Structure 1
Amino acid sequence: MNVQPRARQARPEARGRTACLLAAIWLIVGAAGLGAAPETRTDKISPVILAHRDAKRQPLALAAEAHRRDLEARGLNAGDLSGESCALYTERPLSAAEREALEGRGIAIVPGLWIPPVAGRHPQGFHLARVAYDSLDAVRDDPRLVRLESAEIRSRPLNDLATGQMGADDVQAGQGVGPFSGAGVRIAVADSGLDLTHADFPVPFEAYDLTTGTSPADWSTTVANTVTPHGTHVTASALGRGTRSNGRYRGSAPGANLCFYKIGSSANGSATEADMIEAIDRAAAVNARVFSLSYGGFSTYMDGSEAAEQAIDAAEAAGVAVFVAAGNDAAAKLHDSVSVAPGTTSDALGFTINNPYSTSYETPQYLQVIWRDGTPGADNVSLVCTNLKTTGPGRESLTLLSGSTSVRGTESREYQLNPVIAAGGQKTYWFRLQNSAGAGAAVLVHLYRTSGAGTFDTPDSAFTVGHPAVADGAIAVGAWTQRRSWIDAWGSSHYYPDLTVNTLAPFSSRGPRIDGLRKPDLVAPGAATISARESVPGL
């Protein structure tokens, strides 16, 4: 379902409900691709990587534990301060000898993984690599290496009525088509973990923990959930046998075979872009027909050009149907937008932080400003805050961390707001967007809060379908409301008054993509969904 973008003139919580990703696995649809604009960046190294390098340098005044928390809040790997996972773009796959030579220079390439270019969508292919920050000049000096993008940022994890609402019951029963149960179809699920002791799951064709290495040789086969039941719930929605409920709560394809890939951190359930890419690549390599990913978030460009999105598009081109959760951010107040004409400054956008704690709140807030104005690389748009406290104790700041342009011409700037809010207090920060272009049309500028606690006072629910659901070839799935109440395994009743049956769930992320491509691609039952229960105590 799509909504019309809101264009204000310049005068110028995830809710804990998981969208049912594979509710439509029997539906195979195509996705239109968009042509790529020329790359305009002169440095091969993404400014995002340089910003990450700077962030990992521990400030003298900051304790090591506080520095670690700040990095993890931003989605960075606090366990690797000297480098990061990257997408290393090349015109062709590098040979084993070339990879070995680069490893000796601090560029460790994942063996056996090459995501090819996709015609009309992604101009070069890439290897995954761990690149030491001290080796960035080696990337710059090597003519075989075209560019380097980060693959480190983490994404978060985003039934009896569902199968009937979308007609899967009829498909399974042979009413008008089939019968089809998914038998003979290999479905790959990448998620937080899986309860393999649950009777509703078949013995997997393979199951790996991708967070433990870079290939089957070093991936663990222990895939249990540790901090969230998300993966068990999602997998059962796709192909649960219904054994524990006498068939009542079975998945959409209860006869399908399973490949499971744990990508969720055992510490917090989040997943790196590198692990998502490895999962997609592995699923295609073992001939999975369907791939499900219920992870996502806001990213640098939001235009379908990033590494995980290229991996999705390559898998789709190879015949894999890739279903990705659209996201749960429509009502989260994490996005605002405004149309800014050349040479003007927008009206103020309110961004409010509440501090319920008994100590001062000084956690950095990270903000992504994204726009498309037809002049990639010009850096015409900037963000300012008009009411920072800049003198005396409790000084605040807004700092530009990085500015970059995607291969599709989307421009992006990341900012860090350092607030100081007294215990029990609240403050609204007033942002304005400036367009320094001397001529041209007004540009719609997007402002996303990617980390922190603040929310926008006048949020825009459009343009909230997340990364990597914005991939050209992804089937981005929004959440439809099939019920508003249910009784859990312990007999307790739950009721969601803000849900309306047979409507789009209010939390389900809305489109379109920032370049106008229609997203999400479909909606399926995904609110108050009943699925398999995790056996790990407390989950």
Structure 2
Amino acid sequence: MGIIKKIKLPVFVLIFIVSSSLYSQYKRTYPDDIRFLGKYSSKIGSGTLQEIFHKHNIAKKNNLLKGPDMIDVFIYFDSEPDNSQIHKLQILGVECFTESWTPPIFPNHPLGFMLARVPVSSFQNVLDQAFIRRVDTAKRMSAPLNNTAASAVNASDLWSEGLTGSGIKLAILDSGLDTDPSNPDLPSSFEKMDYSQYPTLDSDVENHVTGHGTHVTGTVLGRGIYSSSNTGNGGGAFKGMAPDADLVFLKI
């Protein structure tokens, strides 16, 4: 029993020294930006943003090559930002893509958002703006998967029975559609209308900010002509679920 008591103190001292060493190393490795991120944690919607900001500070404080100057983000608001709010962001060096504004949809999506490009050096000042509710990264790793998606839902079983969407007209309401230059993966002709500035209407459905509407349209009824010889990702064309359907596209 006496021997056990004698060993306890050195073991405790050893554990304390190791713990203190690890804590000191943690403090050296993760500087003040960790406390900053904690302060704004409710406004930062992505671990990717935290990583970018952390790397930028590490590089800056160690006089290394600087990290990224600008980051592409989604900025979330309660309602569409007015001119004065946009101006405040522009003063901070933020490039706001106001055409990308997407309004809130209640009750599931109570915040609206727009795409923006934010200087990393101004990130904290941007988060300090009371009218900004949340910021999330606009960077996403993606790969074309429509060939495997069709296989996963056994779409080919229906295609083989002639159920390809032929004679069916499908309406897609989305951000816009890239039609120039002409795209053989889209129907050769289709009805289209821009409702994004309602009640002003026109037939220009292009959107040079986001390709979301084009992606959705391809998923629904893309012809798969461009990718007919695809051998990657398991092979097979990236065509839509109803590749022979007609299209009505409404930009909103």
TM-score of the superposed pair, with normalisation by structure 1: 0.25
Larger radius of gyration between Structure 1 and Structure 2 = 2
Specify which structure has the higher proportion of helix. Answer: 2
TM-score of the superposed pair, with normalisation by structure 2: 0.48
